[in-house]
């Protein structure tokens, strides 16, 4: 017959009698989302407003006040109701849209529904279709230009060619990579990749940006004279 194990007494030799208070581990998530609601959304609407047509005769302004309950009302349902009914815990977002016609002087104002924005619970989670989910923070590379010199090997015959690569990390948008390659027995080439897609020639990108003979006479010639190793590619 098994006997119950006796409880051992444990002695503490720590300097502190009480354990340290546990910090708020989800404060970063809550503060970040609160900043997004109170400042981030308004900054985004200010960045894209006003929206004009090509002739600038028509103009659309979007105004958003995060502290106006008419534009940012509270969620319609509670967290418990969303879990029980498999709904998303969210709140509607509205903006005041002002349409102006400079030719006629006509101005129209209207409150426009932009969509339902998921709301964060007190525990720092989101309720999506009745399921509680959490957003995991990750490190994001800072905007700037990074250069990476090195060598690369071809898999078929293991021949080596030099590679110098520079990557532009913008604050917004896709990454853009520039590389200079020198394969054995071939001329030096310079190419670019946008969003890590297929490699394009550097001159194809420059022409697409408008640096051709029609829009910028002599630019490509000066570019090649500065980087003479691209003369074969040009």
Q: Give domain status of residue 5, yes or no.
A: no
Does 108 lie in the same domain as 166?
Answer: no
Q: Pairing state of beta strands 90-101 and 126-128?
A: unpaired
pLDDT in tens, 181-203: 777 777 778 888 888 888 888 88
How many distinct structural domains can be found in the chain? Answer: 2
For 120, counting Cβ atoms within 10 Å of its Cβ (0-12 exposed, 13-18 middle, 19+ buried), the class is buried
Residue at 160 is within a domain: yes
149, 110: one domain = no
pLDDT at 126: 92
Look at residues 94, 111, 133 and tell me which one is the last residue of a structural domain: 133
Q: Residue 12 domain-assigned?
A: no
* Same-domain check for residues 175 and 198: yes
Q: Are residues 82 and 123 in the same domain?
A: yes
Say yes or no: 112 and 54 in one domain.
Answer: yes
Confidence at 127, pLDDT banded by 50, 70, 90: very high
- Domain range spanning residue 198? 144-230
pLDDT digits (tens, 9 = 90+) for 82-124: 999 999 999 999 999 999 888 888 889 999 998 899 999 988 8
Residues 151 and 124 occupy one common structural domain: no
Residues 31 and 127 in one domain: yes
Residue 102 resides in a domain: yes
**Do 120 and 154 sit in the same domain of this protein?**
no
Same domain, 178 and 207: yes
The CA distances from residue 207 to 37, 122, 215, 225, in Å, are 41, 53, 9, 17
> Which pLDDT value is given to residue 232?
67
CA proximity to 53, closest of 87, 15, 100, 18: 100
């Amino acid at each position: 017959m098994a006997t119950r194990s006796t409880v051992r007494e444990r002695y503490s030799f720590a300097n502190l009698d009480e354990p340290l208070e546990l910090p708020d581990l989800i404060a970063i998530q809550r503060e970040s989302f609160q900043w997004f609601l109170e400042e981030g959304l308004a900054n985004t609407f200010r960045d894209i407003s006003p929206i004009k047509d090509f002739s600038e005769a028509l103009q659309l302004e979007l105004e958003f006040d995060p502290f106006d309950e008419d534009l940012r009302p509270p969620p319609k349902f509670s967290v418990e109701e969303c879990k029980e009914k498999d709904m998303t815990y969210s709140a509607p977002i509205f903006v005041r849209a002002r349409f102006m016609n400079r030719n006629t002087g006509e101005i129209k104002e209207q409150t426009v529904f932009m969509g339902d924005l998921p709301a964060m619970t007190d525990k720092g989670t989101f309720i999506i279709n009745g399921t509680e989910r959490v957003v995991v923070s990750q490190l994001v590379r800072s905007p700037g230009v990074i250069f990476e010199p090195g060598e690369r090997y071809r898999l078929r015959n293991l021949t080596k060619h030099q590679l110098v690569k520079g990557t532009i990390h913008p604050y917004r948008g896709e990454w853009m990579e520039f590389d200079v390659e020198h394969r054995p027995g071939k001329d030096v080439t310079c190419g670019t990749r946008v969003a890590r897609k297929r490699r394009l020639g550097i001159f194809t990108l420059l022409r697409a940006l408008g640096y051709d003979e029609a829009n910028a006479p002599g630019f490509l010639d000066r570019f090649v004279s500065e980087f003479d190793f691209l003369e074969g590619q040009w």
